[in-house]
A and B are shown apart, each in its own frame.
Chain A
Amino acid sequence: MAINQNQAVKYNHKHLLGIQYLSIPEINLILDESLAFVELNRQENKKLKILNGKTQINLFFETSTRTLSSFELAGKRLGADVMNMNVLNSAIKKGETLIDTAMTLNAMHPDILVIRHQDSGAANLLSQKVNCSVINAGDGRNEHPTQALLDAMTIKMKKKKIEGLRVAICGDIMHSRVARSNIYLLNMLGAEVRVIGPTTLMPKNINLFGVKVFNDMEKGLEGCDIIMMLRMQTERMDGSYIPSTREYYEFFGLDYKKIKNAKEDALIMHPGPMNRGIEIDTSLADDINRSIIVQQVEMGVAVRMACLKILMENKV
């Protein structure tokens, strides 16, 4: 994973809106850059001056703990001035539109806007209206590119490769932006991607996205190197998709019995926050031999630092 200096790979976008817009070299560039920050983040002095004088605004329309703090830390460690906009209690609740808010913030001349929004396409819309770079920190069910990048980084750190691995993404595929971004990214990097879940939580034509679809978890997990569990996104559901969480856990909750179908060294990931006892057995989630959920959080900061740095360096 060493940086190949001969390859003059450039990141050719002003924004980071989704994995679907990236090329394989661009993804590898971000992952390579991230590696240096992993090392840095483990040192005592974590502060750099790369983004000195830059302003980063985190505009979060949905509640978030780990993504927001991860972006905040990433910006601060690079030396940027970081502001978190808590939108839940602001003018937007009073009827201001996304565009109006964007124009207001734009007038303050930020260099980078990190947005999370409940509607798919919100980051795309914002990027058309502001002058600065926009990072999508999750829009509706569409994409969550930095999550997919940090997942890839975590897999690479643990398995030393991605190509040829069999990865199962399990659970509420329909409502998951994490699933979509990961499907794009893992396919591009040569993994074999499977999606596992009840048919009611599978979006239409998902088989056309280069994945194998399984409705039987034990079959789906066969030979898997990586098991990505997804959270049941009850807040995005408008009605009943499954009979009960108890029944869901019985058939789609990851436990020590079901995981036996996967490879012996299969690792478990979860974008968080977890619903213990619904999608994953609580002791399995904490099993240090199996679960790399904590490493995902660690990689998150490094990957986001890399994204911020690349966007600020590559003014397109």
Chain B
Amino acid sequence: MFKNFNGKQSMKKQCITNVRIIDPKNSLDEIGGILINEQGKIEAIGKKVSELNASDATIYNCPKKIAIPGIIDMRVFVGEPGFEYKENFRTLSQAAISGGVTAAITMPNTNPVVDNVSTLDFIKRRSRDKSIIKIFPLASLTKNTNGEDMTEFGLLKLRGAWGFTDGLHCVQNNKVMDKILNYAKNKDALIVQFPQDNELSKNGVIHEGFLSTKLGLKGIPDIAEQIIIERDLRLLEQYNGRYHISLLSSKKSLEIIKSARARGLKFTVGVSINNLSLNDNDIGDFRTFLKLSPPLRSEDDRIALIEAVEDGTIDVIVSDHKPEDEESKRLTFQQAATGASGIETLLALSLELVHNEKCTLNTIIKSLTSNPAEILGLRNGTLSVGSEADIAIFDLQKPWVLNKENIKSKSKNTAIEKRKLQGKVEKTFINGKLVFSE
């Protein structure tokens, strides 16, 4: 079994050469080399680095390729413990590294829920033993995600919880949320909210609009999202703690965010790649693989979200990787499971926005690497000298088609089957070790 998290075992020096390096944290975008030392850390980087000053190193010559910090995916559902048949750390890792993802922020919606120190310990031990990628777990905000009783933020943080969220659920009770934001400030704990009002979205399965009326499906109005964002930001204003909106789906939510920021409030915002790549029309005649939460919204919303990524209103793009066995998708739309597997296509789909000239490459890489690292307080997400050599190398132009049989995740519930993609990961390094190569 592959073990490298102590970073102590010795390896040969390695050098990636003639590659275009993009490291947004250091505003670096140049052709050069990356020298990885025996401890799996970055020793030197940039145009000065070539095979000449790395004669004793293993050389990976990657002309016309792009090297970026390993992707940090801020919203990932694993399945361990409780849903191992959907995904485990091993299968998740295989999927992740094939997409250049070297770290996953895992959601606490397991069975049992990660709401106490011992379950958190289990996740940490289990991921240490089985995972190739780095796992940074979030614990739940409330016990058993019941929305009422807050978890032990202080203790959980000490034992390695990087933040707190109810993941699939949203704290509804205003008083509870007020106390959470108040208490979390003491502990400098990151609070991550999935914004959705339960009553307004009750039984809803699809964006409320033309298509929900046509298909006769109960809609989720976008106000269900806005009302929680507005509430949370008003509460946050009193305490100014660390607060992150995990997913956003509607144009109107962006207005709320902009106006709160104009008032000087500090917080961060994420979006699922699904909401940037698809709209509700893609659901067509009841395609349950596109049943997502938050729902795919209108094309107007999608365009607005993409613009918000480019102008910096949205900080992070996530895969919202939610593996579901296919049987639970082969039901009526109302009954089918929600969510899509997507960690391995996160980068390729994000690059669509670059190819379509909607976003710059730098913005996209930033929202996948340095921004999530900064929000969570991780030292990863950069190629700075001295940092762990988590690196993804990809071919920006390479065309490919996503076929279900090539999906490495244990669950094949992709929302983009048969989609033509452009840009493919060819090598992934974690702590200087080549873990994926194609």
Q: Is A122 part of the binding interface, using a Cβ–Cβ cutoff of 8 Å?
A: yes
A208, B210: Cβ atoms closer than 8 Å: yes
Q: Is A291 part of the binding interface, using a Cβ–Cβ cutoff of 8 Å?
A: no
B286, A121: Cβ atoms closer than 8 Å: yes
Which listed residue (A142, A204, A239) contacts B208, Cβ 8 A? A204
B286-305 toward A: CB 8 Å interface, digit per residue (1/0)? 10000000000000000000
Within 8 A of B (CB), among A201-221: 203-206, 208-209
A203, B212: Cβ atoms closer than 8 Å: yes
Within 8 A of A (CB), among B173-212: 202-203, 208-210, 212
- Chain B residues with Cβ under 8 A from A140's Cβ? 216-217, 332, 334
A204, B332: Cβ atoms closer than 8 Å: no
- Chain A residues with Cβ under 8 A from B209's Cβ? 204-205
Give CA–CA (A122, B215) in the complex, Å: 11
A123-151 toward B: CB 8 Å interface, digit per residue (1/0)? 01100000000000001111100000000
A120-B213 in contact given A98-B332, A99-B330 (Cβ < 8 Å): no
A120-B286 in contact given A204-B208, A204-B210, A206-B213 (Cβ < 8 Å): yes
B286, A125: Cβ atoms closer than 8 Å: yes
The CB with the most chain B CB atoms within 10 A, among A97, A99, A122, A203, is that of A203
CB distance from A91 to the nearest CB of B (A): 16
- Chain A residues with Cβ under 8 A from B331's Cβ? 97-99, 125
User: Number of contacting residues on A, CB 8 A?
Assistant: 26
Q: Which residue of B lies closest to A20 (CB)?
A: B214
A204, B219: Cβ atoms closer than 8 Å: yes
Q: Is B333 part of the binding interface, using a Cβ–Cβ cutoff of 8 Å?
A: yes
Q: Is B335 part of the binding interface, using a Cβ–Cβ cutoff of 8 Å?
A: yes
Give CA–CA (A124, B210) in the complex, Å: 19
A119, B219: Cβ atoms closer than 8 Å: no
B217, A120: Cβ atoms closer than 8 Å: yes
B333, A121: Cβ atoms closer than 8 Å: yes
Q: Is A39 part of the binding interface, using a Cβ–Cβ cutoff of 8 Å?
A: no
- Chain A residues with Cβ under 8 A from B210's Cβ? 204-205, 208
Within 8 A of A (CB), among B197-241: 202-203, 208-210, 212-217, 219, 221
B325-346 toward A: CB 8 Å interface, digit per residue (1/0)? 0010011111100000000000
Q: Which residue of B lies closest to A175 (CB)?
A: B216
B332, A177: Cβ atoms closer than 8 Å: no
B286, A124: Cβ atoms closer than 8 Å: yes
- Chain A residues with Cβ under 8 A from B221's Cβ? 204
- Chain A residues with Cβ under 8 A from B327's Cβ? 97
Give CA–CA (A208, B212) in the complex, Å: 12
B215, A121: Cβ atoms closer than 8 Å: yes
Q: Is B405 part of the binding interface, using a Cβ–Cβ cutoff of 8 Å?
A: no
Give CA–CA (A121, B221) in the complex, Å: 21
Give CA–CA (A140, B212) in the complex, Å: 12
Give CA–CA (A208, B210) in the complex, Å: 7
Which listed residue (B208, B216, B330) contacts A120, Cβ 8 A? B216
Q: Which residue of A lies closest to B286 (CB)?
A: A121
Give CA–CA (A140, B214) in the complex, Å: 12
Give CA–CA (A7, B330) in the complex, Å: 41
Q: Is B357 part of the binding interface, using a Cβ–Cβ cutoff of 8 Å?
A: no
Give CA–CA (A209, B330) in the complex, Å: 29
Give CA–CA (A220, B209) in the complex, Å: 24
B334, A119: Cβ atoms closer than 8 Å: yes
Which listed residue (A98, A204, A238) contacts B202, Cβ 8 A? A238
Give CA–CA (A173, B209) in the complex, Å: 15
Give CA–CA (A125, B216) in the complex, Å: 15
Give CA–CA (A128, B350) in the complex, Å: 33
A238, B203: Cβ atoms closer than 8 Å: yes
Residues of A within 8 A of B (CB): 20, 97-99, 117, 119-122, 124-125, 139-143, 177, 180, 203-206, 208-209, 238-239
Q: What are 5 of the A-B contact pairs (CB < 8 Å)?
A: A117-B332, A119-B334, A121-B332, A203-B219, A204-B213
Residues of B within 8 A of A (CB): 202-203, 208-210, 212-217, 219, 221, 285-286, 327, 330-335
